[in-house]
Amino acid sequence: MTSSSPAYPVPPVPPKPEPMLDALFGTLWPEPSLGARPRLILAAAAVGAVAALVIPFRSLGLGTFLVLASVCGVVAVADGRIRRPYHLVSALLSLLLLTPLFLLAAEWVSVVCVLAAFAVGASALAGGRSVAGMAASWAAVPLAGLRGLPWLGRSLVAAPGSRAWAPIVRTVALSLLAVAVFGALFASADAVFARWVGALVPELTLDDVPVRAFAGLTVGGLTLAGVYVALNPPRVERLALPTGAPVTRRFEWLVPVSLVVAMFGLYVTAQLTVMFGGHAYLRRTTGLTYAEYVHQGFAQLTLASVLTLAVVAAAARKAPRATAGDRLLLRVVLGALCLLTLVVVASALSRMSVYEEAYGFTQLRLLVSFFEGWLGLVVVLVLVAGVRLSGWWVPRAALLTGAAALLAMAALNPDAYVAERNLDRYEATGKIDWYYLSGLSADATPVLADLPADLRGCLRVDATRTGDWLEWNLGRARAHEAAPRGLASGRDCEGSPPR
């Protein structure tokens, strides 16, 4: 007989621990089977390297546009949904929003448009549809720098084994070496060639390295983040507010919304009273001039318009729609509120117009006027959604129309428009703020150059010469051409900046 060894229980195999980032992002942003993409890593690194050479120590211009357009191009290549209408429109709109970088000298316009381009592009990449989903889409791009670390590691590990990787690296290295050697030889032989090459291969110093490294890492990292969101979009719509159950009784939503409608109706009645009563009635009842009257209410009217959209959204979520009567009542009440809101928007725009005529035109007032006009357009979109009782498309439409409104404002050339309108006001009233006009960007210089000779010296304008071709900007180029007409010297004027 053979003795058998005692049977021992086999210990259970412990479960494999879940990766930390998978546990952190959970089902909101899983990474099912995202393969390595070393070519996209190389493209993002190339964009970052170009940004390190082009962007630092230069004003906004053609070079900045080309770098950011390259970011959009690499991300678009990674986006497998680019041919879908919404993604294609978003990509084209984002690219158009970057054009003020080299068309306008007003940096505030360029900054606002670049932020809008980011908002449009990020929303399309992450698939945001609701307001909460869009906000999460904007946050997804910076968070992709953390969520995409495993994918980045896999791509870097797979790079040496990729047949295409080594030839690309060798080609880039040899090309850079050839450009450096022959560029240095020809630059030392010809001054014009040296100026051209200097734009592409700037003189590097140790003091420049931190700034250029920061620019390169920022732009390259932004490109990588956009690529990752395009390849693996998060489930941002899981953060949208749940539909929720409608109220059981009509009065629960009808009474508060009807009171809001009544307040809007009372306001419109007051506006009609002022319109027909004239300035004398306004002075007698309020003690205010018309300019003071329109100034004190613009901000409140803008806030009321924004809050109305929140009221409509809440009512649309909670109002019952079980019967035809419920749906008709919802359409009538919310439709009346939207129509009255449009009257308030028109009143706010009218107030701003009168205020500008009284106190002058500024960049901020122009921007706020476009914002108020866009709010009116959003109200129209909500009104259409109310008629159809389907508004899932409204947030995306509002985002795209808002970006289009910014693009229209940029096409207006805001600083030149503000300067022109202030000069028209000066001819009509003799009132002008020379100090404010002197603070406008170079976009206003061609307009201000048309001043009479005795008034040109009241201004100090920006006529900075455009640098190399990477710094070229149409607004600054036009200003430099207009500057020799006598804007740099002259007499002091009341309200002009100190010399």
Query: In whole angstroms, what is the distance from residue 482 CA to residue 298 CA?
Result: 37
Distances (CA, A) of 477 to 47, 408, 421: 27, 22, 22
Distance CA 399, CA 93 (A): 11
What is the per-residue pLDDT for 495? 54
Q: Decide: 230 and 222 in contact? Cβ < 8 Å.
A: no
Using CA atoms, how far apart are residues 409 and 370, in angstroms rounded to an integer?
Answer: 7
| 356 in Cβ contact with 365 (< 8 Å) | yes
Task: State pLDDT tens for residues 153-201.
Answer: 888 776 555 555 566 666 666 766 676 677 666 766 766 666 666 656 6
The pLDDT of residue 143 = 92
Residue ranges of the chain with per-residue pLDDT less than 70: 1-19, 158-173, 175-177, 179-180, 183-185, 187-188, 190-206, 244, 274-298, 456, 461-466, 484-499
Tokens standing for residue 453: 């000779």
Residue 117 makes CB contacts below 8 A (sequence gap 6+) with 68, 72, 93, 94, 95, 97, 98, 403
Rama region for 62: left / alpha / beta (φ>0; ψ in -120 to 50; rest): alpha
pLDDT value of residue 490: 44
Token pair 């990729």 is found at 162
Read off the tokens for 243. 């539909």
Looking at residue 53, its pLDDT comes to 85
CA–CA gap between residue 409 and residue 184 (Å, rounded): 44
Dihedral of the alpha carbons of 200, 202, 208, 213, in degrees to the nearest 10: 20
By residue count, the chain amounts to 499
Q: How far apart are CA 253 and CA 323, in angstroms?
A: 16
Cβ 418 vs Cβ 363: under 8 Å: yes
Give, as one character, the DSSP assignment of residue 202.
Answer: P
Closest CA to 64 of 28, 93, 107, 22: 107
Q: Are 460 and 486 in contact (CB under 8 A)?
A: no
Contact 98, 66 (CB under 8 A): no
The answer to whether 459 and 487 are in contact (CB under 8 A) is yes
DSSP 8-state assignment for residue 206? T
The span from the CA of 177 to the CA of 141, in Å, is 35
